[in-house]
Amino acid sequence: MAKLTDKMVEGQPDLLADLDAETLATDDLLTEEMLVNMGPQHPSTHGVLRILLRTDGEVVREATPHIGYLHRCAEKIGENVAPFQFIPTTDRLDYLAAMNNNQTFSVAVEQLVGIEVPERAVTIRILMAELNRIASHLVSLGAYGLDMGAFTPFLYAFRERERIMDLFEAACGARLTYSYITIGGVTMDLPDGFTDACREFLEYLEPKIHEYNQLLSYNQIFIKRAGGVGVISAADAIAWGLTGPCLRASGVRWDLRRCMPYEGYEQYDFEVPIGLPQGGEPPVPPGVPQPRVPRGVVVGDCWSRYFVRVIEMYWSVHLVRQALDRLRPGEHKAKLPRSLKLPVGEIYFEGENPRGQLGFLVIGDGSPVPSRVKVRGPSFNNLSITSHVCRDCLLADVPAIVGSIDIVMGEVDR
């Protein structure tokens, strides 16, 4: 802000005419607000998202998300096809966590119809869901580093993710949209050599996560960009409907896999990491180097949301190992009639997606096609707090805040 000096006002007596006494006392010039479009095609919006920013200099006074650029009528499609045919559409909601989407919708239909899934199929589901959680968090970690100006972690994260894609391709032939987990179990059994290849990958990945901490998590520039920025209190996180890492980073220990277990998660050993103040030690599996929260970090800030995902990768590795140990011979899918009729009634089921609670409401009317399908997307709810948390932040902090929320626009717009 420029200062008023005698030289500036000399010969311009009218310059001070419209300024009140309080403004003159601050000795500052007034500035005009400006509207700035961030997106819809912007590398830091993680999809086709437009955020309209009302700025006062470098300060953001208001941030309004504009969505809908990727709307594909997913829910209406679900009301016009049989549940089996809707599985490929669930892949395309959160296309970075397609296995988790398949699983949640399948469980919802199974609970409505009363289908009992074979034990081997349930174990394979958890195995695939946790591998996909790791793959999703790797994309989040790498892309967020890229948002903050760190290019190398992005390459490393995608290198590890490719190994997971190779495993998925061996299991179902696809690398992004799988349609592997389906109603009644999984579409096909695991191929020969899959478990050995998976164990080998886990031994390779776990030390890499520690390297990411040394490379990015404890990088002082990264901490300055993300620490203490975009702080969301626990009360605000709950009030705005945040779930997943965004909620847990604010200090709320809520994870559906632990708090409302499904698919046998209650039989597995794992901890739920939350945001901690500086010096805190998040829980990690045995044998993992103990990470610590560095200085400059506040519970609920951008760094905490990032770091919760890093610790979750450790626990997902631990869960996958347990699932591999639990694999027993058996059927990979329940025997179902060719035409599956949905009974009259409704079911709402939520699962713990990598980005939060993904829910499906399915209403049956006795026909093979649901009369109503509604999706509760975690990215949609998590994005809603943008206008609140970006108020009065710096313009350069907006990419840090939006990136830490980790949205996928396919699931926001649907």
3 and 137 both lie in a single domain: no
Tell me the Cα Rg of the chain: 24
1 and 108 both lie in a single domain: no
| Residues above pLDDT 70, as percent of the chain | 93
pLDDT tens digits along 44-85:
778 888 999 998 888 889 899 999 898 989 999 999 999 999
Q: pLDDT digit of tens for each residue in the chain (414 aa)?
A: 344 344 444 444 454 455 455 554 555 556 678 888 887 887 777 888 899 999 888 888 989 999 989 898 999 999 999 999 999 999 999 899 999 999 999 999 999 999 999 999 999 999 999 999 999 999 999 999 988 888 899 999 999 999 999 999 999 999 999 999 999 999 999 999 999 999 999 999 999 999 999 999 999 999 999 998 989 999 999 999 999 999 999 999 999 999 999 999 999 999 999 999 998 899 999 988 899 999 989 999 999 999 999 999 999 999 999 999 999 999 999 998 888 899 999 999 999 999 999 999 999 998 999 999 999 999 999 999 999 998 888 988 999 999 999 889 989 988
| Close Cβ partners of 21 (under 8 Å, ≥ 6 residues apart) | none
Tell whether omega for the bond before 294 is within 30 degrees of 0, i.e. cis. no
Specify the pairing of strand 34-38 against strand 50-56: antiparallel
299 and 157 both lie in a single domain: yes
Specify the pairing of strand 372-376 against strand 356-364: antiparallel
87 and 24 both lie in a single domain: no
290 and 391 both lie in a single domain: yes
24 and 87 both lie in a single domain: no
Q: What is the dihedral of CA 138, 96, 257, 401, to 10 degrees?
A: 60
Is residue 334 included in any domain, yes or no? yes
Q: Distance between CA 251 and CA 237 in Å, rounded?
A: 10
Number of H helices, E strands in the chain: 17, 9
For residue 53, the cross-strand partners are 36, 63
DSSP 8-state symbol, 83: H
Q: Distance between CA 67 and CA 383 in Å, rounded?
A: 10
Is residue 407 included in any domain, yes or no? yes
Residue with tokens 């695991």: 190
Q: Please give the full DSSP string across 1-60, using - where no structure is assigned.
A: -PBP-HHHHTT-GGGGTT--HHHHHHTB-----EEEEE-SS-TTSSSS-EEEEEEETTEE
191 and 104 both lie in a single domain: yes
Is residue 68 included in any domain, yes or no? no
Is residue 66 included in any domain, yes or no? no
293 and 160 both lie in a single domain: yes
Is residue 100 included in any domain, yes or no? yes
pTM for the structure as a whole: 0.88
269 and 407 both lie in a single domain: yes
CATH number at residue 328: 1.10.645.10
108 and 170 both lie in a single domain: yes
Q: Distance between CA 258 and CA 172 in Å, rounded?
A: 28
Q: Which range marks the domain in which residue 7 is found? A: 1-30
pLDDT tens digits along 267-288:
999 999 999 999 889 999 998 8
172 and 290 both lie in a single domain: yes
Percentages (nearest 5) of helix, strand, coil residues in the chain: 45, 15, 40
Residue with tokens 């999703």: 136
Domain count, the chain: 2
Q: Please give the full DSSP string across 259-303, using - where no structure is assigned.
A: HS--TTGGGS---------TT------TTS----PPTT--TTSHH
9 and 113 both lie in a single domain: no
Neighbour count for residue 95 (Cβ, 10 Å): 15
Is residue 365 included in any domain, yes or no? no
Helix (H) or strand (E) holding 375: strand 372-376
Is residue 154 included in any domain, yes or no? yes
Is residue 306 included in any domain, yes or no? yes
Residue pair 263/271 in contact by the 8 Å Cβ criterion: no
Residue with tokens 């309080």: 22
Q: What is the largest CA-CA distance in the chain?
A: 92
